[in-house]
Structure 1
Amino acid sequence: MKEKLLIGGYTRQTSQGIYQMLFDTQSTTISNIKLAVPLQGPTYFAVSNDDVLYSIIQDGEQGGIAAYDINADFQFLGSALQPKDSPAYVEIAEQKQLVFSANFHTGIVTIHKINPDKTLTITDQIQLTGHSVKAEQEASHPHMAHLAPDDQLIVCDYGTDKISTYQLNDDGQAHLQAEFQAPAGSAPRHLVFNPQNPQLAYCICELSSQVLVLNYLNGQFSLVQAYNLLPANYLGENTAAAIRISADGQYLYTSNRGHNSIVSFRIAADGQKLEHLQTIKTQGDFPRDFSLDPSGQFILVPHQKSNDVSILRRNLDSGQLTFVNNEATVPEGTCLKFFK
């Protein structure tokens, strides 16, 4: 089977934007790599069910989200821009026809409505404030704006160690409902909900290199347990990055930048306990993002600094990963998405 995917990232060196390619699950090769969207700094993006690409974009002194029609050879549809730097995260809420962005630099979470022509109109902005205990946490730095299974907006704030819950009305406006204080200096980055138990979530913390297991009820988070992502004898620098959960809710996968590894856990039947399954080196430098392929049999890992993509085979029964190859070259990759 040949699966289509996109990889984007920084454009500080050789990258020119977002690249399109094919992954062949039989030969375990990546081919037909070509530039799909030339643009500045597409470090994160999302693809809608209508085959519209919504990407972070930096346009001179403005940053925001731009829309492209994949079926029309990535035709530019329009953009929603704001002053200063571009966001760090973008997500599509299909059922609500909203797009969320989180701006690490300005502390602003923006909510956009998807218009009939697939362009975006800003409906609300949340200006976050505060700080925490580490030098990198001198201000609010939201790193994720995610729709929970109960249709509430969840914001992970690296800068304040807070995970906030907002109620969303039909007009795309948000109202703060609750705040969870994560351990000081942990820097919550991204989280995923358990697809088999929506009252459980797993949050990766960038600065503490931990995963938090969280109970979630009526918009309120509570801490169950924290799990370390680094070997006890590792003394080098590291920042935790991406987190993914298998469709069956049985396995959790996370990435380390510095240690350059994928750490996997088996999730207990009650969803509240994690058993360390494996730590596998990605054979590249700085795995900021990774994705399970549509079949669930592979994990693909782009590397921001070594400019390659690692293919890991995944055993569906055990969750174990095996390194296959890293022969494909894609520059400065920080985001990978499969699409139809």
Structure 2
Amino acid sequence: MLFKGVIHHMQENVLIGGYTKQTSQGIYQLQFNSQTAQLTPAKLAVKLQGPTYFAVSNEHILYTVVQDGEQGGLAAYDMKNNFAYLGSALQPKNSPAYVEVSDKRQLVFSANFHTGIVTIHQIQADKTLAITDQIQLTGHSIRPEQEESHPHMAHLAPDGNLVICDYGSDKVFTYSIDDAGKATKMGEFTAPAGSAPRHLVFNPQHPDIAYCICELASIVLVLNYHDGQFEQLQSYPLLPDNYNEDNTAAAIRISADGQFLYTSNRGHNSIVSFKVSASGQSLEHLQTIKTQGDFPRDFDFDLTGQYLLVPHQKSNDVTIFKRNLETGYLTFINNDTQVPEGTCIVFY
């Protein structure tokens, strides 16, 4: 079992950002104490418009989604130098919904829900971004929200291929990425009609198994993966049978040991967890626990893996759960900390 013995990281840094439609001014920095399970009050770290998603490189460069007037894209900040602004890679129209850093490849990927474009950027010597390729997706599906392609994730698979979840077309695409940062299509998987694949994680113990959360159907799919091709093995519901109100599934995370899978529901306002089978190929429902806040879009484990923190987009607070490393069970600790409009959380 991982995380046995001495747990370091007593004082952990956390960034939480989101929409800036009401009271939020950008990305907030907090400290989390993994011994007392307490968060410090939020301090504004970066003032900017609409940082709904961001990622941190190993060199502590923050790459965040940003909206700048009529343009949207990614901005880079040096966290070691008091979040000094380094530069932006902007394009016309709305900002992306997702960003991911590959330190190994020195690439940054963004997925633009609004324009259907996935952009590949190379990290330059000065840590700013240069666009190397763009993938314009096309397609649609059966629901009114799926009138065109809406990529919601561009995630590097363990084998180095780029996996794109397209909410709009119910497709999961795979592309190979060459050393120059150019993409070549390898395959496409079709999820159940109207399900809207949103995010996906690979099992750290079984790189040939992935779990895909589908936003509109509120399900999680277990997928087999081989050489750029996905195949569905199982599907599991994220809502109780008797729940008939609006819900959109959002984030999915897997524990470092590959034994437990966690998902979030917006509307039902819950975290649904599963025990992962030894083969990784099936799931067993473990727990559905209310987050005691409104609209939990993103969540993540702290650095020790002993806690799970959930910001809320609508109730403007952060819920702290204690996580049992042996059983995977979550226990509510508190939601005393205020952070406005939170849709993304990153520990570092």
- So what's the TM-score if we normalise by structure 2? 0.97
What 5-or-longer segments of structure 2 have no aligned partner? Answer: 1-9
Displacement of 1:25: 1.6
Give the aligned partner of residue 15 of structure 1. Answer: 24
Give the aligned partner of residue 60 of structure 1. Answer: 69
User: 1:86-165 to 2 correspondence within 5 Å?
Assistant: 86-165=95-174
String of CA shifts for 1:209-264, please: whole Å, max 9, x gaps: 00000000011000000000000011111000000000000000000000000000
Give the aligned partner of residue 7 of structure 2. Answer: none
d(CA) in 1 for partners of 2:31, 2:303: 13
d(CA) in 1 for partners of 2:22, 2:34: 30
- Among 300, 309, 319, the residue aligned to 2:309: 300
- Among 333, 336, 339, the residue aligned to 2:345: 336
Give the aligned partner of residue 187 of structure 1. Answer: 196
Displacement of 1:204: 0.1
Instruction: Give the 3-state SS of the residue equivalent to 1:318 in structure 2.
Output: coil
Is 1:167 the equivalent of 2:176? Answer: yes
Instruction: Give the 3-state SS of the residue equivalent to 2:80 in structure 1.
Output: helix
d(CA) in 1 for partners of 2:303, 2:205: 18
Give the aligned partner of residue 6 of structure 1. Answer: 15
Identity %: 70
Give the aligned partner of residue 231 of structure 1. Answer: 240
Q: Give the conservation status (yes or no) of the 8 Å contact 2:41–2:337.
A: no
Equivalent AA in structure 2 for residue 246 of structure 1? S
- Among 83, 86, 90, the residue aligned to 1:77: 86
Equivalent AA in structure 1 for residue 290 of structure 2? K
- Among 265, 268, 272, the residue aligned to 2:281: 272
- Among 255, 276, 289, the residue aligned to 2:264: 255
- Equivalent residue pairs, number: 339
Equivalent AA in structure 2 for residue 193 of structure 1? F
String of CA shifts for 1:175-207, please: whole Å, max 9, x gaps: 101000000000000000000010000000000
Is 1:240 the equivalent of 2:249? Answer: yes
Give the aligned partner of residue 321 of structure 1. Answer: 330
d(CA) in 1 for partners of 2:69, 2:294: 29
d(CA) in 2 for partners of 1:176, 1:35: 40
Q: Give the conservation status (yes or no) of the 8 Å contact 2:309–2:320.
A: yes
Displacement of 1:338: 0.3
Instruction: Give the 3-state SS of the residue equivalent to 1:186 in structure 2.
Output: coil
Displacement of 1:108: 0.2
d(CA) in 2 for partners of 1:119, 1:198: 31
Give the aligned partner of residue 51 of structure 1. Answer: 60
Q: Give the conservation status (yes or no) of the 8 Å contact 2:41–2:338.
A: no
d(CA) in 2 for partners of 1:203, 1:276: 15
User: 1:204-223 to 2 correspondence within 5 Å?
Assistant: 204-223=213-232
String of CA shifts for 1:260-285, please: whole Å, max 9, x gaps: 00000000001001000000000000
Give the aligned partner of residue 5 of structure 2. Answer: none
> CA-atom RMSD, angstroms?
0.5
Displacement of 1:32: 4.0
Runs of 4+ in 1 over 4 A off after TM superposition: none
Displacement of 1:24: 1.1
d(CA) in 2 for partners of 1:28, 1:273: 32
Q: Give the conservation status (yes or no) of the 8 Å contact 2:19–2:51.
A: yes
d(CA) in 1 for partners of 2:83, 2:310: 24
Equivalent AA in structure 2 for residue 205 of structure 1? C
What 5-or-longer segments of structure 1 have no aligned partner? Answer: none
- So what's the TM-score if we normalise by structure 1? 0.99
d(CA) in 2 for partners of 1:72, 1:95: 23
